[in-house]
Amino acid sequence: MNPSGASRVFVTYASALLRGEKMQPPPFPLPEGAPFYRQVWHVLRTIPRGEVRTYARVAADAGCPGAARAAGTACARNPLPLFIPCHRVVAAHGPGGFGAGLAWKKLLLKNESSSTRKARYSKLKK
């Protein structure tokens, strides 16, 4: 795929995501990063649309139980948040953070929930 074709694919996916449409992200290799970050990013790509996981669960799934804060740092350093869905990761007692702001995180989760009806994010409605 040529660069302009790849750009169109990514723009189409991002636009669909923001409209709440169900669409699989385009395939692409994980970005460069620390080995633990890359493992977390891999785990993030496995979280189904409309579902959420805690930072602790993501850390455990990445092979480092007890490293919830480090998983949060990996989410914060995610260079492709719409394509590696860090917005699907929440804190044990609240929404957690999101580089683009909590309003964006809530919007993305709401859009995904409206199309799947599986998300459990009621604690985000505070």
Say which of 86, 89, 108, 109 is annotated catalytic: 86
Residue 64 annotated among the catalytic residues of the structure = no
3-state secondary structure of 90: strand
Residue 112 vs residues 39, 75, 78, 90: alpha-carbon distances, Å? 24, 19, 20, 15
**Half-sphere exposure (Cβ direction) of 80: Cα atoms closer than 13 Å:** 22
Both tokens of residue 22? 């169900």
How far apart CA 93 and CA 115 sit, in angstroms, is 25
Q: Active-site residue numbers?
A: 86
